[in-house]
Amino acid sequence: MEMEYFVPPGEGEKWFEYWVQERFRWYVEYGIPEEMLRIRPHDPDELSHYSAATADVEFLYPWGWGELEGIANRTDFDLTQHARYSGEELTYFDQDRNEHYVPHVIEPAAGADRATLAFLLAAYHEEEVRGETRVVLRLDRRLAPVKVAVLPLSRNERLQPLATKVAAMLRPHFQIDVDDAGSIGKRYRRQDEVGTPLCVTIDFDSLDDGAVTVRDRDTMGQDRIAIDALVDDLRARLSLC
């Protein structure tokens, strides 16, 4: 994915530095630790003939450092070449400066597959919990493909109607999964492994008190929440309000 940012000729260096830092910051914001990222400026003998400067955001893969994204100051090469071969005038009139010029291009170029792999690698953790290994994918909650899992404590026919009701209530607001296969502990582990941030458990007490248990993926903490307040509670936990 290439993004082209057009700037006045004298501001290419400033905006190049801005986009290098901004792209680095974006990966950190969505969950990659800073120590797994670095910026590597290209040496002069690496630069393309049209490039005034190029830098890579690199990621520390299990096999070593590798390019995650490249940012290039392509000067006016793109537009002058287009103008040359198309015969079209591609200058821009800057009203604030009262002048015509050919804009310079700053181009961050990122790959969706490469970024997805980096986020998955950075999020993968193994830890010991009560003598057993827990695999957890600590994806940023904005990146998690499933936000909430609805887990009836069992397949008991008394629990199924309420589980269906809770799932229907949540579905318009969040990407959800409903899982009733196996023990509740195994289902928590399955959701941890795929990065689901929150689990909502419907148990037999729910039939009497109108509340459910909300479990957090990262802390494994559990809170009892009234069903009537559940959407607002989950929205706040997911920072989606």
Indicate whether 133 belongs to any domain: no
**Can you give the CATH number for the domain in which 176 is found?**
3.40.50.800
Are 144 and 115 in the same domain?
no
What sign results for the dihedral spanned by CA atoms 66, 69, 75, 77?
A: positive
Neighbours of 144 (CB within 10 A): 21
* CA 162/CA 131 separation, integer angstroms: 34
Are 101 and 171 in the same domain?
no
Are 112 and 169 in the same domain?
no
Q: What are the residues facing 108 on neighbouring strands?
A: 71
Are 95 and 146 in the same domain?
no
Of the three residues 120, 151, 178, the one that is the final residue of a domain is 120
pLDDT digits (tens, 9 = 90+) for 87-145: 888 888 889 888 898 999 999 999 999 999 999 999 999 998 888 899 999 999 999 99
Are 227 and 157 in the same domain?
yes
Indicate whether 132 belongs to any domain: no
The pTM assigned to this predicted structure is 0.88
* pLDDT, position 166: 97
Indicate whether 62 belongs to any domain: yes
Are 101 and 174 in the same domain?
no
Say which amino acid occupies 68: L
Are 112 and 161 in the same domain?
no
* CA 125/CA 144 separation, integer angstroms: 15
Query: In 113-141, which positions are buried (b, 16+ CB within 10 angstroms) versus exposed (e)?
Result: eebeebbeebbeeeeeeeeeeeebbbbbb
Indicate whether 126 belongs to any domain: no
- Give me the number of domains the chain comprises: 2
Residue 114 structural domain: 5-120
* pLDDT, position 240: 61
Indicate whether 199 belongs to any domain: yes
Indicate whether 181 belongs to any domain: yes
Are 23 and 106 in the same domain?
yes
**Can you give the CATH number for the domain in which 9 is found?**
3.30.930.10
Indicate whether 154 belongs to any domain: yes
> For the chain, which residues score pLDDT lower than 50?
241
Q: The tokens 């000067």 sit on which residue?
A: 75
Are 170 and 92 in the same domain?
no
Indicate whether 130 belongs to any domain: no
Are 232 and 163 in the same domain?
yes
- Mapping DSSP onto H, E and C, the string for the chain reads CECCEEECHHHHHHHHHHHHHHHHHHHHHCCCCHHHEEEEECCHHHCCCCCCEEEEEEEEECCEEEEEEEEEECCCHHHHHHHHHHCCCCCEEECCCCEEECCEEEEEEECHHHHHHHHHHHHEEEEEECCEEEEEECCCCCCCCCCEEEEECCCCCCCHHHHHHHHHHHCCCCCEEECCCCCHHHHHHHHHHHCCCEEEEECCCHHHHCEEEEEECCCCCEEEEEHHHHHHHHHHHCCCC
